[in-house]
């Protein structure tokens, strides 16, 4: 029977495929696709773990004291039977062979299948055996975690993995570390129970240009492994087991979307200039050095945000050393072929935690609201050796091309002073060591209302500003952007947010300092004309969003837009006011855009 599940639309388009469930577990489970040549060795890992667990149960039963309850021995027999059952281990091996899952993922996937079967049993005694199954699986996972880790391919596109059918990922939530593994994988869409429009899952889905719905509450419980599902990323709708008519309708929409992408791709090498001759800088947000070629391919004129924290993730607590960071930054700079690269210092915390780090990091993990805890520049200042190591690597990379360093989440003079002291110290260390380094421009992210309200302080110390609208909205409206319970209150059109953004742009331009927007607002075409009216001439977004925004830029006339700005900023409903004014001022597309 077909069912519909509603959530938040966070990445547009339509995805159709078989559901792949990533089940929650009390044991941290890595989700990676293994190299096809190593399938049988991965099956061997699984079988070895089974044998270890079976031996554990046999030893436990053998060593039971004479006066132990008979029920305890019977329970161990049940667990031994479960771990040796082909429905668990044999079927898990099938997931490895057919989908190329690593062993841990395969066991978790099969647990999901069997748990659903137990839930549907009429006999309450049999239903309760699901707890035994979960305990056995937990032992299996722990045994696997102690052995040799799965072999993972060395980068590249994993499009040949997972079988022939399109796959869509369904999970309660997706950890940033897993998103790194999934980023170049076979998945055509994402569905999560939790999250908001600017949660990490949503941002990465947009960067991959694939449909996604988050905050879908019970999706991972209502959808089964291998269900046929449709993800409508425009409406925030997930359709499970669609009828043939609905399926064909959405396939038609997919084809239309592909045609539109083709039309936009023709603008790739067209300069972003408004109808009245204002040149606009469209930059790219990237997460790894390997993303730089996509930024160039999209027609961006530089990198406006390199999120360096992704170099620190999914490493089991082993932070990258100076040489590894230098090599990553150098590769990104060289890949951009002389175009500027803005690299943000590590911004961990909130929805981007690190695994198994220092005591300071562990303290940050325990904060009731991580968004207000030890994150971004606060964490860097609490870990001076780590911070200086990154700064040295950044300055060394500047030898290979234009580099800008962006400091996140600054809020006070004290933090600015401490940051500048660390920068000076790092440069002295390079000089004393005889290391070559280049000059960089220093920038501050404006993402805390305290910063937006004390701009002269920031303009005094920094060469440029970059407005991080995701966090600025979160902190201005007191909304945790990753919490689906309040996600409907997250409002980029709120007058307070728009006035802070407009004031930041105005003051930066008056001071002769560069200013850009690097949050999700920059890549949303609905805001393009409004930001242009505010005076913004530098937008930074995911490479997949560049063409859509460029189309709006080419059709805009800033001379007609600017006088209408106050009517939007001080309206009770800025979004409606903006739509109304644009409909009145729309003079049609530029000749270039029309030809496209």
Give the span between the Cα atoms of 269 and 315, in whole angstroms. Answer: 38
Question: Contact 348/354 with Cβ under 8 angstroms?
Answer: yes
The domain made up of 3-22+157-262 is a member of CATH 3.50.30.10: yes
> Is 447 annotated to bind ligand?
yes
User: What is the C-alpha to C-alpha distance for residues 529 and 557, in angstroms, rounded to an integer?
Assistant: 9
Q: Which one from 31, 79, 100, 200 is the annotated catalytic residue?
A: 200
Q: Is 26 annotated as a binding residue?
A: no
Give the integer Cα–Cα distance in Å for 44 and 38. Answer: 10
From the candidates 31, 364, 422, 518, give the one annotated as an active-site residue: 518
**Which pairing describes strands 281-286 and 303-307: parallel, antiparallel, or unpaired?**
parallel
Backbone angles phi, psi at 344, to 5 degrees: -85, 135
Question: What are the pLDDT digits (tens) for 149-158?
Answer: 665 544 444 4
Query: For residue 371, which of 272, 474, 269, 224 has the smallest C-alpha distance?
Result: 474
Domain coordinates of the chain in residue numbers?
3-22+157-262, 36-146, 266-595
Say what the pLDDT of residue 156 is. 40
Q: Phi, psi at residue 237, to the nearest 5°?
A: -120, 140
One DSSP character per residue, 81-99 reads HHHT-IIIIIHHHHHHHHH
User: 436: phi > 0 → left, psi -120 to 50 → alpha, else beta; which?
Assistant: beta
103 in Cβ contact with 49 (< 8 Å): yes
Q: Which of 321, 464, 296 is nearest to 386 (CA)?
A: 321
Q: What is the pLDDT of residue 339?
A: 97
Token pair, residue 152, equals 């993972």
Quick check: 49 and 144 in contact, CB under 8 A?
yes
Candidates 93, 81, 72; CA nearest to 54 is 81
The contacts of residue 254 (CB under 8 Å, 6+ apart) are: 13, 14, 16
Looking at residue 146, what is its pLDDT? 79
CB 525 within 8 A of CB 282: no
Left (φ > 0), alpha (ψ -120 to 50) or beta: where does 512 sit?
left
Distance CA 210, CA 189 (A): 5
Predicted pLDDT at 590: 40
Question: Per the annotation, does 378 bind a ligand?
Answer: no
- Residues sharing a CB contact under 8 Å with residue 589, sequence separation 6 or more, in sequence order: 551, 554, 555
Residue 361 pLDDT: 45
Name beta bridge partners: 5.
238
Q: What is the pLDDT of residues 132-148, one digit of tens each?
A: 888 888 889 888 887 66
Q: Is 89 exposed, middle or buried (0-12, 13-18, 19+ CB in 10 A)?
A: buried
200 as an active site residue: the answer is yes
> Is it true that domain 36-146 has CATH number 1.10.274.10?
yes
Centre a 10 Å sphere on the Cβ of residue 594 and count the other Cβ atoms it contains.
10
E runs forming strands in 151-205: 167-171, 187-192
563 sits in which H/E element? none
SS3 label, residue 114: helix
For residue 465, the SS3 value is strand
- What backbone phi and psi angles, to 5 degrees, belong to 86? -65, -25
| Class of the CATH domain delimited by 266-595 | alpha beta
CA dihedral 412, 416, 419, 425 (to 10 degrees): -140
User: pTM for the full model?
Assistant: 0.73
Whether the Cβ atoms of residue 83 and residue 89 lie closer than 8 Å to each other? yes
The pLDDT value given to residue 541: 94
573 is in an annotated binding site: no
Strands, E assignment, 490-562:
514-517, 538-541
pLDDT along the chain (596 residues), means of 10: 89 90 65 88 93 89 75 80 91 92 90 83 73 85 76 44 73 69 73 79 75 89 90 93 95 89 87 96 94 93 94 78 96 97 88 51 49 88 96 98 97 97 97 96 97 97 97 92 76 96 98 95 95 98 92 96 94 92 65 38
What is the pLDDT, as a whole number, of residue 497? 97
**Helix, strand, or coil (residue 267):** coil
Contacts of 305 (CB under 8 A, 6+ apart): 283, 284, 285, 286, 342, 344, 406, 466, 518, 540
99 is in an annotated binding site: no
Phi, psi dihedrals of residue 168, rounded to the nearest 5°? -125, 145
Tell me, what DSSP letter sits at residue 14? Answer: E
Is 518 labeled as catalytic in the residue annotation?
yes
Distance separating alpha carbons of residues 455 and 274, to the nearest angstrom: 28
- Interstrand relation of 8-11 and 3-6 (parallel, antiparallel or unpaired): unpaired
Q: Is 181 annotated as a binding residue?
A: no
- Residue 349's pLDDT is 67
From 93, 141, 89, 143, select the one nearest 114 (Cα to Cα).
89
């Amino acid at each position: 029977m077909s069912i519909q599940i509603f959530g938040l639309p966070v990445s547009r388009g339509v995805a159709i495929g078989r559901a792949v469930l990533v089940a929650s577990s009390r044991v941290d489970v890595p989700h990676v696709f293994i190299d096809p040549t190593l399938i049988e060795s991965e099956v061997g890992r699984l079988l070895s773990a089974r044998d270890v667990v079976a031996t554990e149960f046999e030893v436990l039963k053998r060593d039971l004291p004479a006066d132990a309850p008979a029920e305890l021995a019977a329970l161990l027999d049940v667990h031994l039977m479960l771990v040796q059952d082909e429905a668990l281990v044999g079927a898990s091996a099938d997931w490895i062979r057919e989908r190329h899952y690593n062993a841990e993922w395969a066991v978790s996937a099969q647990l999901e299948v069997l748990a659903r079967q137990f839930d549907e049993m009429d006999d309450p005694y049999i239903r309760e055996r699901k707890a035994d199954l979960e305990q056995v699986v937990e032992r299996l996972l722990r045994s696997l975690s102690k052995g040799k880790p799965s072999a993972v391919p060395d980068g590249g596109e994993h499009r040949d993995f997972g079988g022939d059918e399109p796959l869509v990922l369904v999970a309660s939530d997706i950890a940033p570390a897993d998103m790194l593994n999934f980023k170049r994988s076979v998945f055509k869409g994402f569905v999560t129970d939790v999250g908001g429009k600017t949660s990490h899952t949503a941002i990465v889905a947009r960067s991959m240009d694939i449909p996604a719905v988050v905050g879908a509450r019970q999706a991972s419980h209502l959808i089964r492994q291998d269900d046929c599902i449709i993800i409508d990323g425009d409406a925030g709708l997930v359709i499970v087991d669609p009828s043939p008519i609905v399926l064909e309708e959405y396939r038609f929409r997919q084809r239309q979307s592909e045609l539109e992408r083709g039309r936009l791709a023709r603008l790739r090498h067209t300069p972003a200039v408004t109808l009245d001759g204002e040149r606009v800088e469209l930059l790219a947000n990237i997460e790894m050095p390997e993303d730089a070629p996509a930024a160039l391919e999209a027609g961006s004129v530089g990198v406006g945000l390199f999120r360096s924290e992704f170099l620190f993730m999914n490493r089991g607590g082993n932070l990258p050393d100076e040489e590894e960071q230098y090599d990553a930054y150098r590769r990104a700079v060289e890949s951009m072929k002389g175009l500027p690269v803005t690299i943000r210092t590590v911004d961990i915390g909130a929805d981007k935690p690190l695994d198994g780090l220092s005591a300071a990091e562990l303290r940050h993990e325990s904060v009731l609201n991580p968004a207000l805890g030890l994150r971004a520049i606060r964490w860097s200042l609490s870990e001076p050796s780590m911070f200086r190591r990154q700064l040295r690597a950044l300055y060394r990379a500047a030898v290979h091309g234009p580099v800008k360093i962006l400091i996140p989440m600054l809020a006070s003079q004290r933090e600015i002073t401490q940051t500048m002291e660390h920068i000076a110290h790092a440069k002295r260390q390079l000089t004393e060591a005889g290391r070559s380094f280049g000059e960089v421009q220093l920038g501050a992210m404006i993402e805390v209302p305290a910063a937006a309200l004390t701009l002269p302080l920031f303009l005094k110390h920094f060469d440029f500003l970059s407005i991080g609208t995701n966090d600025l909205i979160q902190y201005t409206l007191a909304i945790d952007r990753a919490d689906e319970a309040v996600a409907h209150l997250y409002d980029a059109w709120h007058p307070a947010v728009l006035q802070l953004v407009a004031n930041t742009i105005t003051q930066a331009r008056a001071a002769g300092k560069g200013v850009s927007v690097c949050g999700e607002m920059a890549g949303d075409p609905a805001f393009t004309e409004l930001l242009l009216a505010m005076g913004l001439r530098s937008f930074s977004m995911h490479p997949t969003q560049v063409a859509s925004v460029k189309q709006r830029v080419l059709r805009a006339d800033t001379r007609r837009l600017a006088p209408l700005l106050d009517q939007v900023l001080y309206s009770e409903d800025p979004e409606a006011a903006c739509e109304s004014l644009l409909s009145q001022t729309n003079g049609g597309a530029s000749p270039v855009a029309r030809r496209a």
